[in-house]
Structure 1
């Protein structure tokens, strides 16, 4: 079953990625907003989710869905697809390349398969629970592994900011206080790609408050299968309250620092 789920996720991601890459209109506009006027949805987000759910339902009609743009059904098979059809919508709206399609399959709350399709990088990240994490690139397949953990003052850490102004202000304050103790901070604009970049050794860690299940389901599995630890506050799983991913030697110091700075509240 895992091979079937992975194959379907890869094909759905490929099709949605091609639609988003090749079908982006020059006059792309905001279709609606969500949590705030700057938290946007485009017509392409909606079209990509319809493509993904339609394809998966055709092949596995008894599965459930949870999608960012409204797909929600419990299903009867025990398998649920968690879908972000376009992670990094603001980047996509502005023509920036850092965006991705994120598709995960879970059963009983455990993610079994994760795929992140990044068309503008020409990269597909994938993982199966217990089977390692891989990237398919223009030059072939490579197994993913996190970087050896550096001291915190040499760590490159990525984060993201919410679209609600009060939360953004607090997140900016936390980042400001973190910068002097790190090598630097990055803000890419796609949680799914940030998690994959931890897996690929391009980042030493990542944290963010305010993620939804569709933002992190696939990327979290890919990061863990590449050797990262993931979690939230001490003793907690990744959640909307706080998500952290990093190699073992960075994870606990980063988690402790974020807890001391109150990164998990507004």
Structure 2
């Protein structure tokens, strides 16, 4: 590639296709996740945010910077919202949402259950997401205009399911069990599943839902970076997503058709 080609301004948003977004999104999460993993292997300084399990490291910040730098080169007109504080106003409706390390507590403690995740939104309900798990090497990409695939291979379309016969991936921060407005709906939906999984990375959970491993995922009060990348994957696999308010809190639900309706009904009581 010549220097003139390498530094040429990227095409305008009218020329950007869903597949071009998918390819870029995959590159963003693979590069960011690989960087974070290397930094973990070199040793990390950990800072607590709101609790002992809510942490941030220099890997989170470095990975977010890497993603935003690539977006500035390849999508200079798009907005960017990052978990670690990046906020870039866009020149139109397209915006990238960035979670450089989702599951940071797992990341810090040596678990493989973490990922890098991004999503891009646009006009007409356009949504595309990508999730990369560096330790396993799995990359998931999909959304409204791109059927979800894992490592380049399309996943099976999600058939209707029954929550009572399947697994529920979810999370409730332990101190919140003392709040009945959160604990009661959590207990109702949990008891409605055959089994529950609380593993600590919403985007990895949602990628697993998109692949048919879990029947439903739900969690309350999700910021966009914890919801949109995985939601895109689930919808791109033929799944259903919903948001429901219960006791003043928003619950985010995704999974197999039919099972999501069951979960929503249980949350509502």
Structure 1 residue 4 displacement after superposition: 2.2
Q: Distance in 2 between matches of 1:178 and 1:104?
A: 27
Please state whether the residue corresponding to 2:258 is helix, strand or coil. helix
Q: Any conservation in 1 of the 2:148–2:236 contact (CA below 8 Å)?
A: yes
1:123-155 Cα offsets, whole Å, 9 max, x none, are 11101423311111xxx62324325413x3322
Structure 1 residue 111 displacement after superposition: 4.0
Structure 1 residue 74 displacement after superposition: 1.3
Structure 1 residue 175 displacement after superposition: 4.1
Could you tell me which residue of structure 1 aligns to residue 73 of structure 2?
58
Please state whether the residue corresponding to 2:253 is helix, strand or coil. strand
1:136-182 Cα offsets, whole Å, 9 max, x none, are 1xxx62324325413x332211101237x246754555444444432
Q: Rate the CA distance shift 1:105–1:31 in 2: closer, same or farther, 3 A.
A: same
Could you tell me which residue of structure 2 aligns to residue 217 of structure 1?
228
Aligned to 1:84, which of 94, 99, 105?
99
1:49 aligns with 2:58: no
Q: Distance in 2 between matches of 1:60 and 1:130?
A: 19
- Matches of residues 188-207 of structure 1 in structure 2 within 5 Å? 188-207=199-218
Q: Which has the larger radius of gyration?
A: 2
Q: Rate the CA distance shift 1:103–1:179 in 2: closer, same or farther, 3 A.
A: closer
1:89-111 Cα offsets, whole Å, 9 max, x none, are 11101011111111111114834
Q: Any conservation in 2 of the 1:111–1:221 contact (CA below 8 Å)?
A: no
TM-score (norm 1): 0.85
Residue correspondences, number: 250
19-28 vs 217-226, greater mean Cα deviation: 19-28
Could you tell me which residue of structure 2 aligns to residue 17 of structure 1?
33
Please state whether the residue corresponding to 1:231 is helix, strand or coil. strand
Aligned to 1:102, which of 76, 95, 117?
117
Please state whether the residue corresponding to 1:241 is helix, strand or coil. strand
Structure 1 residue 37 displacement after superposition: 4.4
Could you tell me which residue of structure 1 aligns to residue 149 of structure 2?
134
Q: Rate the CA distance shift 1:106–1:179 in 2: closer, same or farther, 3 A.
A: closer
Alpha-carbon RMSD across the aligned residues, in angstroms, is 2.3
Aligned to 1:146, which of 158, 178, 199?
158
Structure 1 residue 227 displacement after superposition: 1.4
Could you tell me which residue of structure 1 aligns to residue 257 of structure 2?
248
Please state whether the residue corresponding to 1:206 is helix, strand or coil. strand
* Gap runs ≥5 in structure 1: 261-266
Q: Distance in 2 between matches of 1:148 and 1:166?
A: 32
1:31 aligns with 2:47: yes
- Matches of residues 161-240 of structure 1 in structure 2 within 5 Å? 161-162=172-173, 165-166=175-176, 169-170=179-180, 171-172=182-183, 174-233=185-244
Structure 1 residue 3 displacement after superposition: 2.4
Q: Any conservation in 2 of the 1:65–1:71 contact (CA below 8 Å)?
A: yes
